[in-house]
């Protein structure tokens, strides 16, 4: 389905507002794609003159007919809410519209034993260093590909993570065990701007790093349904298990709210792991 001519301007208005407010490229793309789905279904009905009841019917259609997951409906809700409240300034339009309950999911992490197995099967020096830094500094995959040479301060053993999620900078600690490996890598590859360069000296693509992780997991025979973000989850979980104060972990991960970091406490409680099932005592 195509967007009718009457609503093409609405999509462009949304895009411009996102750009002016400095939203990330990824957020711009997500909001525009979700809003596009809404506009396509409207046909020749003008999006600027929608009622609360009509929008409610749309979300009922998403849940009942399209059977979208709650996370998908929430994503679509955010885009539509942004358009009516931030672009059209109709703040009261969606006020009584219920939002699907978010699923409470624990972060998926990898055991230290499997982390070692993972690193042992990666023979390519660049690939190995990427994965080790993801785990060793708790980085998002987007942060790995955006790492620049100038961001690494080996004197203070710190790395600057620039303009990450929420447009925030933060410092993370450079693992001492990687310093020599990092220097050796630099001498061999001689990157100019980005630490990990792809074609034409540009930054390495996110998809390529994800594929490196996926291949390593398969090669190491680690049958766990987890993506490369699991290395960041593992970093936080293992720090908690070793007794690191959760407020420090919050700063290292760059979380705005301590509640986000506290989700790791549910998977990193060693005291709970020591509780034996009564079956073991039979």
Residues 6+ apart with CB under 8 A from 239: 138, 249, 252
Tell me, what's the pLDDT at 241? Answer: 84
Res. 199 pLDDT band, cuts 50 70 90: confident
State how far the Cα of 252 lies from the Cα of 267, in Å rounded to an integer. 18
What is the rounded CA–CA span in Å between residue 149 and residue 129? Answer: 14
Residue 202: band (very low, low, confident or very high) from pLDDT cuts 50, 70, 90: confident
206/212 Cα distance (integer angstroms): 10
Task: Look at residue 276 in the predicted model and tell me its pLDDT.
Answer: 67
Evaluate whether 77 touches 34 at the Cβ level (below 8 Å).
no
Q: Is the pTM of this model over 0.75?
A: no
Residue 204: pLDDT above 60? yes
Residue 104 reports pLDDT greater than 80: no
Q: Which pLDDT tens digit goes with each residue over 223-279? A: 988 999 999 999 988 888 888 888 888 888 888 888 877 777 766 665 556 666 665
Where residue 29 falls (left for φ over 0; alpha for ψ -120 to 50; beta otherwise) is alpha
- Structure tokens that stand for 28 in this block: 């711009």
Q: Whole-number mean pLDDT of the chain?
A: 88
Catalytic sites, residue numbers:
140, 165, 229, 232, 255, 264
Q: How far apart are CA 233 and CA 237, in angstroms?
A: 6
Give the residue-averaged pLDDT of 72-88: 92
Token code pair at residue 51: 């009622």
Q: Which of 21-35, 126-140, 175-189, 249-263 has the lowest mean pLDDT?
A: 249-263
- Strand order in 152-153's β-sheet? 152-153, 158-161, 170-173
Which residue has 């789905």 as its token pair?
37
Rounded to whole angstroms, the Cα distance separating 272 from 275 reads 5
Supply the pLDDT for residue 240. 85
| Domains identified in the chain and CATH numbers | 5-87 (1.10.150.130), 112-271 (1.10.443.10)
**Tokens (6 digits) for 11:** 């999509």
- Determine the Cα–Cα distance for residues 40 and 29; give it in Å rounded to an integer: 16
State the pLDDT at residue 75: 92
Using DSSP's 3-state secondary structure scheme, residue 115 falls into: helix
Mean pLDDT calculated for residue range 79-97 = 87
Cα three-residue angle 4-34-23, rounded to 5 degrees: 115
Q: How many CA atoms lie within 13 A of 2 on its CB side?
A: 4
Mean pLDDT of 43-68: 90
Q: Is 197 helix (H, G, I), strand (E, B) or coil?
A: strand
Choose between 65 and 92: higher pLDDT.
Answer: 65
pLDDT per residue over 12-35, tens digit each? Answer: 999 999 999 988 888 999 999 999
Residues near 150 by Cβ (< 8 Å), separated by ≥ 6?
A: none
Tell me what percent of the chain is helix, strand and coil, each rounded to the nearest 5. Answer: 60, 5, 35
∠ CA(69), CA(73), CA(79), 5° rounding?
A: 150
Q: What is the pLDDT of residue 87?
A: 93
């Amino acid at each position: 389905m195509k967007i009718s001519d009457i609503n093409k301007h609405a999509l462009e208005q949304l895009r411009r507002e996102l750009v002016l407010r400095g939203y990330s490229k990824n957020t711009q793309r997500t909001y525009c794609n979700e809003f596009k789905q809404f506009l396509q279904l409207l046909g020749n009905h003008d999006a600027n003159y929608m009622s609360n009841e009509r929008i409610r019917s749309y979300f009922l259609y998403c849940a009942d007919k399209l059977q979208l997951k709650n996370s998908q409906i929430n994503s679509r809700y955010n885009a539509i809410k942004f358009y009516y409240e931030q672009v059209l300034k109709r703040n009261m339009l969606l006020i009584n519209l219920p939002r699907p309950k978010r699923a409470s999911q624990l972060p998926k992490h990898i055991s230290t034993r499997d982390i070692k197995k993972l690193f042992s099967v990666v023979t390519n020096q660049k690939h190995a260093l990427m994965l080790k830094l993801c785990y060793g500094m708790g980085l998002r995959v987007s942060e790995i590909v955006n790492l620049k040479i100038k961001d690494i301060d080996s004197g203070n053993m710190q790395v600057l993570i620039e303009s990450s999620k929420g447009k925030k900078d933060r410092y993370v600690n450079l693992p001492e065990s990687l310093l020599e490996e990092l220097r050796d890598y630099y001498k061999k590859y001689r990157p100019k701007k980005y630490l990990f360069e792809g074609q034409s000296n540009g930054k390495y693509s996110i998809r390529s790093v994800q594929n490196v992780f996926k291949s390593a997991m398969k090669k190491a025979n680690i049958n766990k349904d987890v993506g490369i973000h699991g290395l960041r989850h593992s970093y936080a979980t293992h720090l908690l298990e070793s007794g690191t104060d959760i407020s420090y972990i919050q700063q290292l991960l760059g979380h705005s709210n301590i509640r986000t970091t506290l989700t790791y406490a549910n998977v990193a409680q060693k005291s709970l792991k020591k509780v034996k099932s009564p079956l073991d005592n039979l």
